[in-house]
Each structure stands twice: as structure tokens, then as C-alpha cells.
């Protein structure tokens, strides 16, 4: 239970601190922290359940995107204000560092393995954001079309 609280707290702090560095509006700092914490918790739970890091990153990115979409509608701010800081806990920086370090010291096999892992994780994060954006776009279009159809039906009923 303590480990769960530590994971949530530090991912919240990392996302919020990055949001402060990038000068997001003050009223969005908590939402940025929640976005990052939700993404990290999905990643962490999937790793705990035996998934690989790429799948965990994909699920985490989908979670960040969903929370970002909700927060952007609630606070009436652009989605990217919440997406960018929310992705900070998921970025495979340590793995990329290890890949470069192993390349420099001559451990080429380990460097290639670490590089491939980092690229897969980065690709999973990008895929999660794209999938979420496509889903949000489709939902938005469906709502707009439903409203237009409703207006047309109302006009037809008024004419009768």
C-alpha cells in the first residue's frame, strides 16, 4: 500500500514540476499532476501484472490522453497543456541513457537491446496519443452529426 502511494505521489510531483517549468496556467497544475499520475499508475499496474514496458506505456499514454481530454473540457484549456506534462513519467530516459552508455563503453549487444526497447516504448507512447486523438475526434464528429440531425428533425416537425 505504501509503494502504491509512493508511486502515485512521485509521478504526480514529476508531472506538476514539469508543468511549472513549462509555464502552464496555475489553475491547471493539479490536473497536469493527475494526468501524469494516472498514466504512471496504468503503466505501473500493467508491469506489476506481467506486461512488457511497451504495452504498459501504451496503456499509460491512453490514460494520460483520456484524463487530458477530460481536464481540457472541464478547465476550458487546450489538451496539450495536460498531455505534455502527463507524459513525463512515461518517457524512457533512463533506458535511452543506458543505451548510449553501453554504446560508448563497447557493450554493443546491450546497447542495441536497450535502444530497441527505448524506441518501442517511445512508439507505444506516440501510438497511445494518436489512438486517443482519433477516438476523441470520432466522438466529437458523432456528437456534431447527431445535433445536426436533431435540428433537421425539429425543422421538419415544425413545418407539419
Q: Which residues contact 122 (CB under 8 A, 6 or more apart)?
A: 91, 92
pTM confidence score: 0.84
Angle between helices 80-87 and 2-21 (to 10 degrees): 130
pLDDT recorded at residue 148: 80
Report the distance separating Cα 113 and Cα 74, nearest Å. Answer: 42
pLDDT recorded at residue 28: 93
Name the domain count of the chain: 1
What one-character DSSP code corresponds to residue 89?
Answer: G
Domain that holds residue 131: 1-158
Low-confidence ranges of the chain (pLDDT < 50): none
C-alpha cell at 67: 484524463
Amino acid at each position: 500500500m505504501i509503494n502504491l502511494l509512493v508511486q502515485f505521489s512521485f509521478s504526480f510531483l514529476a508531472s506538476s514540476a514539469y508543468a511549472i517549468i513549462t509555464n502552464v496556467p496555475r489553475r491547471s497544475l493539479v490536473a497536469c499532476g493527475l494526468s501524469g499520475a494516472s498514466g504512471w499508475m496504468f503503466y505501473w499496474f500493467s508491469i506489476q501484472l506481467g506486461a512488457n514496458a511497451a504495452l504498459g506505456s501504451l496503456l499509460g499514454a491512453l490514460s494520460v490522453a483520456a484524463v487530458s481530454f477530460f481536464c481540457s473540457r472541464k478547465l476550458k484549456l487546450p489538451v496539450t497543456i495536460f498531455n505534455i506534462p502527463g507524459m513525463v513519467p512515461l518517457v524512457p530516459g533512463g533506458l535511452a541513457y543506458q543505451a548510449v552508455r553501453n554504446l560508448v563503453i563497447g557493450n554493443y549487444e546491450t546497447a542495441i537491446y536497450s535502444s530497441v526497447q527505448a524506441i518501442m516504448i517511445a512508439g507505444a507512447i506516440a501510438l497511445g496519443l494518436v489512438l486517443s486523438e482519433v477516438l476523441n475526434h470520432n466522438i466529437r464528429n458523432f456528437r456534431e452529426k447527431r445535433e445536426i440531425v436533431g435540428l433537421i428533425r425539429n425543422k421538419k416537425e415544425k413545418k407539419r
